[in-house]
Structure 1
Amino acid sequence: MLSPVFERFAKKSPITVIARGMMERVLHPEQLDQWFSTIEKNQYTKDLLFSSVFDIMSQVVCGSHRSVNAAYQASKDEICVSITSFYNKLNGIEVSTSAELVRYAAGQVSPIIEKLEGKNDSPLPGFRVKLLDGNCIEKSQHRIKELRNIGAGPLPGKSLVVYDPVLRLPIDVFPCEDGHAQERSMLSAVLLSVQSKDVWIADRNFCTVDFTFGIVFQGAFFIIREHKKYPWKSLGQERYIGKTDTGTVYEQRISVVDQTGKSCSFRRIRLTLEKETRDGDRDIFIITNIPEDAVDAIKIAESYRSRWKIETAFQELTVYFNSEINTLGYPRAALFGFCVALVSYMILSVVKAALASVHGKDTVENKVSGYYVADEISATYRGMTIAIPDEEWIVFRKMKVPQLVNTLKELSSNVKLSAFLKHPRGPKKPAPERTSSKTSPHVSTAKIIANRKKK
């Protein structure tokens, strides 16, 4: 299916070909601009297309260029607008547009991952698991005039992100321009997205009566760690259930009443850990409305532990991509940059799914380093776009899904997986006590090594 011009890259860097091909399939300029025209009626696009803004931001996020200005300078002949006009456009992108971009991209790549059969196994078969967590964008530089005489770190915004652990995919985002906003204040928007048969897994910060009842009223389910202020009454004694590999599980029935007087009966599960958490907690209390005959308490406790995957995804966003560009002080621009990073992460998810379809799910999930994969894409992408003309990539748009899946699998079979394996460290050794001298703040490394050799 691919022309001979792809041959060298398909053999030497097939992962980068997959990534670029998926960008062409899902987010090519014509498709992006058409999508933008359907959801945004207020922004003027005659001189600067949305696809051009996305392209420049994706270059910065993926590491092809170190800054927005550098990416602009490399593309200014094609863009044909001033840097001021570009920043005005970037700073004016509505947060709703940024959120819709993530939902649109997730909807485009999800069927491809499904067809690749490279998904993870579901922690709760029969349900769609959604992990919810918040992300606060790091403080920006003080470039905005009003911030220059302020000592405190300016926060350009935060988001709630929904992650699908089966697809390895961020599927939704709820951005907020107020960097000081409580995450709980954003939950009303999340409730509008809840669907029947969902299972929402979240930390205790999201354990509110309104949120848990809202999920129940939508015909969905939740597994949320109990907040100490969550009001409940016991409906029976706690009983022993069994043991897991991390501790002992107990369960009891509880009753919760909302502000309108409506009452719901939930399960309260206690996991007593063999070792304390980093916060010093020995007992973890989990609230859920999943029926006992559907999922037992031990499985509930184990499923809650899967929420670390969204925290891992946030860490990967920070390490693999430039997801929080601290030169972008305006909230809308910073949040758009974060959402572009989420979209880039989706492309990485397709790469992992393609690898899993050929090399095995367990191998990709537990042994392949996403850092090495992202580094390979970043190192090769720019040169490949120069070597292979844009028109050659159109073939990825025209492929039918079965053809696309076969092409991705064929490319994945060329990947030398040994070059992308993790190298886990052993347990850390305690640091030795250091000696210092006020009269000699520095030492000669060469002399110290020479003394070691004499010994």
Structure 2
Amino acid sequence: MWDAVLARFERQAPASVMARLALERAMPAAWIDEVFETHRQRQYPRELLFSTVVELMSLVSLGLRPSLHAAARQMDHLPVSLAALYDKVRRTEPPLLRALVQGSAQRLEPVVSALGTAPCLPGWQVRIIDGNHLPASEKRLAPLRNQRAAALPGHSLVVYDPDPDLDLVTDLAVCEDAYESERTGVLPLLDSARPGQLWMADRHFCTRTILQSLQQGRADFIVRQDARHPRIVHEGPWHDRGRVETGQVLEQDIRLDEGQAPWRRIELRLDRPTESGESVLWLWSNLPATIDARQIADLYRRRWRIEGMFQRLESVLQSEIRSLGHPRAALLGFAVAVLACNLLAVLKRSVEQAHREQFPEGWEASPYHLAVQVRSRYEGMLVALPVEHWPTWADGSASTLAQRLLELARHIKPGQVATSKRGPKVKKTREWVDSAAARAHVSTARVIEASKGKRP
């Protein structure tokens, strides 16, 4: 009977079945509790397991519950009170969040590789690093109720392996203090830099400490030059390297210290200025000479893919839970949303590969529409088919799970999950508005009633 029920959901709700299989692979409850036991500092498990906390927060991140309170109220057998649950959440330690993201990405990486990847730069693993600040939370905490200013619960630094490589967040560092410098918070992430990796970052991270840390890890980098960049002791002559799609490329050698191996500075003279009015960009890199300067300029354009990932976290998933005002609770919500984003990336890659022959070029699956399909039938699927009756696909090899995901993805209609292409944005000039007019308000009902007597 259970096989027949599963077969029905595989045909009618394949995205939900795929999400369940990927979830079992990325975040099994037993593994989460092992990570907690390994990386906990002052916390300890008693009645409430950390895997239960992650499960509840996952329901909120996926949009299946509006808040942690609602998720806990709907749970059949919550072993502790709501007050104890919130106390557990607000004591979640930052190293534990990093271990969850790192470990989950490592568990999903073989599956994505089995589905097929096309590296941005053959021979290198690309890592894009950037920061994300959580927005102001509700002022539910007693110390915040007398504060008029916005309450910022913290920020995070993310290491992202972009599409078309893995399309996974591979590392995460969280900062409870919203005013802590990103240049300081990024340093623990650089310990994972190793040969064969290419790290890309914005000009905010163009500091001597960061660049030399990557150099010491024998990793390569492409970083945009900041206005207050490290002092250069030697500059070589400029050489014209030709054109790219966006402008003219020049190159020179630079050194920060005497006797240091030279780095490369790439100058990109843009045909069209950026939105901020900049017409020239400078990039620093230590890539070998076998990588052309024009290729470096094109590679840096992929740094913007991390902005798209952050946008998916905000619009597709509930990564910014404003009801969680305590920094550690809010950062836990963001970390679980990152885990959910990685799951959607696996589903997206599976659907695209399953329909690659039908749409060889230009077709891309939408994480938003995939998330809609998962939300619509996921809970009903678990009611009809309890977890204990599921097959153990996730316990097999990565290639076996990848093939299973491809089989399920073929049941998804491409037109239902395809991205919607839009034209270029029309730039609109913002006119000055008096503050009194900006704060004015009207009654919608009265405006509608008054419009009925007017002829077009």
TM-score after normalising by structure 2: 0.91
**Once the two structures are superposed, what CA deviation does each residue of 1:54-92 show, in whole Å capped at 9, x if it has no partner?**
0100000100000111000001x4122100000010011
The change in CA–CA distance for 1:232 and 1:411 in structure 2 (over 3 A counts) is same
Alignment map for 1:395-414 (pairs within 5 Å): 395-414=392-411
The answer to whether the 8 A contact 1:161-1:172 is kept is yes
The Cα offsets for residues 235-287 of structure 1, whole Å up to 9 and x where unpaired, read as 32212111111111111111113xxx774421110111111111111111000
Q: Quick one: structure 1 residues 339 and 451, their matched pair in 2 at CA, closer, same or farther if it must change by over 3 Å?
A: same
3-state SS, counterpart of residue 291 of structure 2: coil
Mapped to 2, the partners of 1:367 and 1:446 lie a distance apart of: 47
Separation of aligned partners in 2, 1:193 and 1:147: 37
Q: Are 1:87 and 2:86 matched, yes or no?
A: yes
Instruction: Name the counterpart of 2:112.
Output: 113
* CA root-mean-square deviation: 2.5
Q: Hey, what's the Cα distance between the residues in 2 that align with 1:297 and 1:186?
A: 30
Match of 2:381 in 1: 384
> Residues 377 and 89 of structure 1: is their aligned pair in 2 closer, same or farther, counting only changes over 3 Å?
same
Number of aligned residue pairs: give it: 441
Matched, 1:338 2:331: no
Which of 292, 295, 308 aligns to 1:296? It is 292
The one-letter code sitting in structure 2 at the alignment partner of 1:90 is V
Tell me if the contact between 2:363 and 2:418 (Cα under 8 Å) persists in the aligned partners: no
Give the 5 Å matches for 1:364-443: 367-429=364-426, 443=447
The one-letter amino acid of 2:86's match is Y
1:320 alignment partner AA: V
What letter is aligned with 2:345? S
Cα distance, 1:190–1:364 mapped onto 2, change above 3 Å: farther
Contact 2:253–2:265 under 8 Å retained in 1: yes
1:256 aligns with 2:256: yes
Counterparts of 1:255 and 1:236 in 2: how far apart (Å)? 9
1:278 to 275, 278, 289: 275
1:298 Cα offset (Å): 0.3
CA gap of 1:249–1:330, structure 2 versus 1, over 3 A, is: same
TM-score by length of 1: 0.91
For 1:205-354, what aligned pairs fall within 5 Å after superposition? 205-230=204-229, 231-257=231-257, 263-292=260-289, 294-354=290-350
Task: Return the letter of the residue paired with 1:254.
Answer: I
Q: Would the aligned equivalents of 1:24 and 1:394 in 2 still touch at CA under 8 Å?
A: no
Aligned partner (choices 148, 151, 155) of residue 152 of structure 2: 155
Q: Which residue of 1 aligns with 2:128?
A: 131
Offset at residue 445 of structure 1 (A): 8.9
> Distance in 1 between the 2:97 and 2:391 partners?
26
1:66/1:352 CA distance change after superposition, 3 Å? same
Equivalent residues of 1:356, 1:363 under 8 A apart: no
Partner of 2:192: 193
Q: How far does residue 300 in structure 1 lie from its aligned partner after superposition?
A: 0.1
SS, match of residue 322 in structure 1: coil
Structure 1 residue 229: deviation in Å?
1.0
Structure 1 residues 114 and 446, CA gap change in structure 2 (3 angstroms): farther
Q: Which runs of 4+ in 1 moved over 3 A?
A: 261-264, 361-366, 397-402, 427-434, 440-452
Q: 1:54 to 1:262 in 2, by over 3 A?
A: farther
- Following superposition, the deviation at residue 326 of structure 1 comes to 1.1
Once the two structures are TM-superposed, the CA of residue 29 in structure 1 deviates from its matched residue by: 1.9
8 Å CA contact 2:154, 2:327 repeated in 1: yes
Confirm or deny: 8 A CA contact 1:352 1:364 kept in the other structure: no
CA distance in 1, matches of 2:430, 2:208: 50
CA-to-aligned-CA distance 1:181-226 (integer Å, 9 cap, x gap): 1101113212211111211000000000111111112111100000
Indicate the larger mover: 306-315 or 272-281.
272-281
Q: 5+ residue gaps in structure 2?
A: 432-436
Taking the aligned partners of 1:384 and 1:421, their CA distance within structure 2 comes to 24
CA contact (8 A) 1:247 1:274 kept: yes
What is the one-letter code of the residue matched to 1:89? K
Secondary structure, aligned partner of 1:171:
strand
Question: Structure 1 residues 431, 39: CA separation in 2 closer, same or farther (over 3 Å shift)?
Answer: closer
Structure 2 distance, partners of 1:410, 1:251, is 48
Task: Sort the Cα spacing of 1:9 and 1:450 in 2 relative to 1 into closer, same or farther, 3 A.
Answer: farther
Structure 1 unmatched ranges of 5 or more: none
The answer to whether the 8 A contact 1:273-1:283 is kept is yes
